[in-house]
Amino acid sequence: MWARYGRRLPFVLVAWIAMALCLFLPPLAGSAVPISVLIVLWLIFWDLSTTFNMRVMEIIPPTKREVSGGDTQVFP
């Protein structure tokens, strides 16, 4: 899919917005069934938002990737 803002950004933004909704709706749920549905939706949108990781790997040069994730261990 090609969009004005890139191939992955629309998916990431939709996923992050949906994940935020899934995060704030459980207090309004009356029983375990809606909470279970929200958890399943959270996991689905979590998978959809993992396209952001590929975007990061496109931007960061290969020599800097091991320290870009905040890892303190650098392999020689």
From first to last of its 76 residues, what are the pLDDT tens digits of the chain? 666 767 777 877 888 888 888 888 888 888 889 889 988 988 888 887 777 666 667 777 777 766 666 554 544 4
Q: What is the Cβ-side half-sphere exposure of residue 53, based on CA atoms within 13 angstroms? A: 6
What SS3 class is residue 5?
coil
Let me know if residue 75 belongs to a domain. Answer: no
Q: Distance between CA atoms of 1 and 43, rounded to whole angstroms?
A: 22
pLDDT at 1: 65
What domain range is 24 assigned to? 9-60
Tokens of 39: 């958890």
Number of domains in the chain: 1
Contact by Cβ (8 Å): 42, 35: no
Let me know if residue 2 belongs to a domain. Answer: no
pLDDT at 30: 84
Let me know if residue 4 belongs to a domain. Answer: no
